[in-house]
Amino acid sequence: MAVQLSVEPNPRVPLRVLHEDDHFLVVVKPAGVVTQPGVGHTHDTVLNAVFATHGKQLQNLGKARDFGLLHRLDRPTSGLLLVGLTPEGYDGLRAQFEGRTIGKTYLALVHGGPKPPQGTERSPIREVRRGGRKRAMLGAGRGAQEAVTRYATLARTKGISLLSCEPKTGRLHQIRAHMAHRGCAVVGDRDYGPRDALDKQFARTVKGALGLHAAELRFTHPVTRRSLSVRAPLPEAVLAFCAEVGLVVPRAWR
């Protein structure tokens, strides 16, 4: 008897698997692809793609365990996502997310550059709704939560820098809001950025994206307890844009 699946499988959604074992997957989400089904996106998400290959395992995890999905990325953000396949895998990784012991490195292309070139941004963030959409607002006030982002400048050329950003908390649009607050908004960010000629050039070269990529995850295997690190280099289109503007990307991220 066929298993009744809660999410429609769709093998046509582009997805790369960087790590797979019995207990979890690490996949690369392209920019422009939604993480999970919702209004307007019922069959073209990351979860639809994973259901096409691992539907039975995800269905067994059920809605209570988000059908294996451990975290999310905004639609225009590319990069790494963890998906649990067994209760042991999901629960063990979920505990690490909740304990803030999973290391996350994002690569961000930003306007200008932060001052100082490396440091920690600690402005609290609260979620607000504007025009029916959630936005991050900085500063203390009702509903504000702790938000911490460490950053370092990896490369810089005229008008643009490449940063590594390590969010120690997981607030809405945290890196985007924090970098905009530092005066160096993420390139291509229509919500928090300036929308100038650099953004237009980026949009021509890199479709449906902003300059933010979830590049590395560091965690403990939920069953074997081995330390793991998984990296995803910058997408080819982003590397092409960097070459256009004369920004030299470190070898580790190419």
Beta bridge partners of 90: none
d(C-alpha 76, C-alpha 91), whole Å: 28
Helix (H, G, I), strand (E, B) or coil at 228: strand
Helices within 78-173 (DSSP H only): 87-98
189 is catalytic: no
d(C-alpha 55, C-alpha 51), whole Å: 4
Tell me if 160 sits within 8 A of 245, measured CB to CB. yes
d(C-alpha 146, C-alpha 169), whole Å: 7
Identified catalytic residue from 21, 44, 74, 189: 74
d(C-alpha 116, C-alpha 35), whole Å: 34
Q: What is the torsional sign of CA 169, 125, 253, 81?
A: positive
Q: Are strands 212-220 and 227-231 parallel, antiparallel or unpaired?
A: antiparallel
* Catalytic site positions: 74
